[in-house]
A and B are shown apart, each in its own frame.
Chain A
Amino acid sequence: MKESEQQHIFNNWISQHKALLFKVVRAYAFASESQDDLFQEISLQVWRSIPRFRQESADSTWLYRISLNTAIKWSTKERKHGGHQSLDHMEHALLEDNPMDERLAWLYDEIATFDEIDRSLTLLLLDGFSYKEMANLLGISESNIGVKIHRVKKYLISKSSKYDNHGI
C-alpha cells in the first residue's frame, strides 16, 4: 500500500470517527497528559493497522478493536509504571475543547472503576453494539458477553440511583 493511500484512509478515519477515539481515550486515561499520550498511541496503532484492514467489518468496529486493544495494553503499562511518563518534551496532539456535561462526567467516572475488559464492554454497550458484534469484536462467546453486561448494567443502575438521590 502506498503511503499516500494510507494517509488518505487515516485522515478519513480520524475525521469521521474521532468521537469514538475520544471516548476510548477518556475512559482509559484521566490526566490530560495521559490522554494525549494514549491518543497518540491509538493513532499510531490505527495508522499501522491500515494495511491489514480487509473491509470484512465496518470501519467503526475495526477502529474500536484497535483502540480498545491499545488502551487496555497501555493502561496495564501505565499502572505498572505508576502514572504517565513525562511528555514535556513533546508537542501535544490533543487539546481539550469542550467542558463535559456533569452527568456524562459521572458516567465516565463510574466506567473508570471497572477493570480494563469491562470498561471496553461498557463502551461498546453504550455505543449500541449488539451482543453478536461484541462477541465478534472481543472474541468471546455471546453468553459470556451476556453475563458481563448484566453485571455492568446492574452496577451502573445501582450507582445511578445514589447519584440521583444525592445529586453528586
Chain B
Amino acid sequence: MEFDEMKKIWDKQNNQTMYAINEDALYRRIKAKGNRAEKTANTNEFGLMAIAVITASVLLFLKTPNYYNIIAAVGMLVMGVYVFIGRVRRLQKDRQFEHSMLGDLDRAISNMENEVFRAKTFIWWMIVPAAFPIVVRIAQNDASWEEIGIIATASLLGYLVTRWSLKKCQIPRKHELEVLRKKLIAE
C-alpha cells in the first residue's frame, strides 16, 4: 500500500465520527476542574504572602517590640517578598516560551525546575523564618516544652513531606519531560 492510499483511508474518518460526546458530562467535568492548576498556584503564593505579612504584623504590633521580634518580622517579610518575586518571575517566564510543542515542553520543564528549587530550599525560605520566633523565645527562656515540641514536629514534618514529594513527584516528572524533549529534538 502506498502512503497516499493510507491517507485516503485516514481521511474517510473525517466524515464518520468514531465517538459521540456526552456533552453534559463533559461540561460538568470542565466546570468542576476549570482553571484549577492556575488557581492552586495563585492560592499557594498569595497564601504564603498573607502568612508572611500577618505574622510580621503580629510580631511588630501585637507583641512587645524587641530586637528579636523585629528580626523575626523582617525575616517573615523577606520570605513574603521572595515568594512575590518568584511569582512575578514565574508569570514573566511563562510568556517567553514559543507557541509550539517544544515551547510547551520547555515551559513545563521550567515550571518543574522552579518547583524542585522551591522544594529544595523550603527549609530556608519557609521553615527557618517560621521557626525563628520560637527559637528566639527559647533563647529568652520564654517558650514552653509544648510549643517547642509543636514547632519542632511541624518543621520536621514539613521538611519530610517536601523531600518525599520532591523524590516521588517533582524529580521523576521533570526527568520524564526531559526525556520527551530529547525524543522530540532527536533525529
Are A and B bound to each other?
A: yes
Measured CB to CB, the residues of A under 8 A from B are 10, 14, 18-19, 22-23, 25-26, 35, 39-40, 43-44, 47-48, 56-57, 65, 68-69, 72-73, 76-77, 80, 90-98, 100-101, 103-104, 107, 115-117, 120, 126-128, 136-140, 144, 147-148, 153, 156-157, 160-161, 163-164
B6/A107 in contact, CB under 8 A: yes
A95/B22 in contact, CB under 8 A: yes
- Give the CA-CA distance A161 to B183 in the complex, in Å: 28
B18/A100 in contact, CB under 8 A: yes
A-B residue pair count with CB separations less than 8 angstroms? 139
Given contacts A93-B29, A95-B19, A140-B102, 20 further A-B contacts (CB under 8 A): A18-B21, A19-B17, A22-B18, A25-B19, A35-B19, A43-B30, A44-B33, A48-B35, A65-B101, A72-B101, A72-B180, A91-B22, A98-B17, A104-B12, A104-B13, A107-B10, A117-B184, A128-B7, A139-B98, A139-B184
Collect the chain B residues with CB atoms within 8 Å of residue A68's CB. Answer: 101
The interface residues of chain B, by DSSP majority, are classed as: helix
Collect the chain A residues with CB atoms within 8 Å of residue B183's CB. Answer: 115-117
Whether A97 contacts B20 in the complex (CB less than 8 A), given A115-B183, A137-B101, A148-B187, comes out as yes
Measured CB to CB, the residues of B under 8 A from A are 1-3, 6-7, 9-10, 12-14, 16-22, 25-26, 28-30, 33-35, 37-38, 98-105, 108, 172, 176-177, 179-180, 183-185, 187
Q: Can you list 11 A-B contacts (CB < 8 A)? A: A44-B33, A48-B37, A69-B105, A93-B25, A97-B17, A97-B19, A101-B13, A107-B6, A117-B180, A127-B10, A161-B1
B100/A136 in contact, CB under 8 A: yes
Collect the chain B residues with CB atoms within 8 Å of residue A138's CB. Answer: 100-102, 184
Collect the chain A residues with CB atoms within 8 Å of residue B7's CB. Answer: 126, 128
- Shortest Cβ distance from A151 into chain B, in angstroms? 9
- Give the CA-CA distance A133 to B174 in the complex, in Å: 28
- Shortest Cβ distance from A12 into chain B, in angstroms? 13
Whether A101 contacts B1 in the complex (CB less than 8 A), given A91-B28, A117-B180, comes out as no
